[in-house]
A and B are shown apart, each in its own frame.
Chain A
Amino acid sequence: MTDAPDATCIWLYAVTRDPPDDEVRGVAGEPLRAIREAGLVAYAGDVPTSEFGEPAVRRNLESLDWLAGVARAHDAVVRAAVTRGATIPVRLVTLFTDDTSVRELLRDRASVFESALGRLDGRTEWGVKVYGAKPGQADEQAPESDETLSSPGTSYLLRRRAARTERERRVRAATEYVDRLRARLAAHSVAERLHGLGGAVAREGGGTLLLNGAYLVENKRFAEFNDAVNADSGARDLRVQLTGPWPPYSFAYVPGLSDV
């Protein structure tokens, strides 16, 4: 790596079979290039090392604004590729020094890339999330006990017991709802991948995140999948959210490539 102010490195976006659209721009606003080898096309952009190379990129990743902008720009390029044909998205921050090493990669793993593209052809990723009740909601809605027949102390204990029973009922109902939903989605998709429920993501939206799934769906069967998302009225206090269409980020795992 050189320290020259105008030095660039290669940012990789996607592996596909079709060359990029001239109008699409990359994470640095740069025009995209096609690096071709073995019938495959890598979407690549020349980005300034001063911002995207080491060590700058490591520092920049600490900034949510920078990360958000780069993620959206990367995503826009991948989406542009998806509209032209089957596409393997490449993980954010995949950098190369020169075209030769990208070509070597495409050539050495051509058959693996091809089979992955075949698996993704005509299919789209959709996200399905289920949120539980917001914290405290269950308690507030606990059934009233009969105040006239009990002392204040007994009444309090009865209310607490009723609230606990109600909470347990809700947890059981929610678990069963998610199980039924996943079974329906499995019947109308070719693969499922569960994203994390913990940490920051779980608190988004104020309710507990009960399901955060990604589904690879045949485009021709999307209507049935969509029906399956909304088919169950069994749990009124849960919210279901369908997100997408997504490029197949969650299904881009290619056996044998992770060690390249």
Chain B
Amino acid sequence: MSVPAKAFTQWLHSVAPGTSTAAVSRLSGIKRSTLAQQLVRGKVAVVTVVSISRAFDIDAVAALSGFDKYYDLASGLLPPTEAELVSQISDVDLLREIVARNAIVDPPEPAGKHILTPMPHKTSVRSWIDAIDVPGLRHTISRDLQMAPQNLSAQLSANRLAPEVAVQVARIAGVGLTGGLVVTGVLTPKEGGWPEDARGKALRALGDTDLVTLAAARLDALGKALRRTDQDNEQTNALWENLG
């Protein structure tokens, strides 16, 4: 979730000696009050470290590796697997690829040529977890981080994953440790060591069967989510009609 304020202050002193907190927040685009609050509470958000690293042109992964919780981040850097890459292609991009591959004459755009939607997509976290799934992953996470399973699934439903959980998940699954930070949007793909157009290459390499099966699964999940929203809205309407 965060790094200790004390370690953060030491780090900040080493990267930007003599720079005031006000100047740091101005350069990195973090609200002054936000930064002050994080320092007072003793917990500085990972995104704060990343924003400051960007502002001072430092490698964000290396910067994070300086903190105890993320000591192995830089050494655990691995290129993303094909499954991870494919998981980060949005639903619409998958469908466009299907349409492009099946257009017989006058394709609207040739297969594998269109520019993919920038990461992360709307269900990037759950798709990533599904892609790197190892048996008992969720159970292991909740045990390792003493986190209730429903807490984890609530985060996944909201397409969120706390940085420390994201890194721990990658450790357990044995994939590149920055993957979780990339799919949650904390790091850009470039910062996380994901090669440029790796997703496009993975998509082009994906066979028709796998592509269609994946798209079908994504649409199924989307349908379920939409149905849940509908039911929620119906319940709210009933409450409003009778008690509002």
A, B bound: no
- Residue numbers of A with Cβ under 8 A of B are none
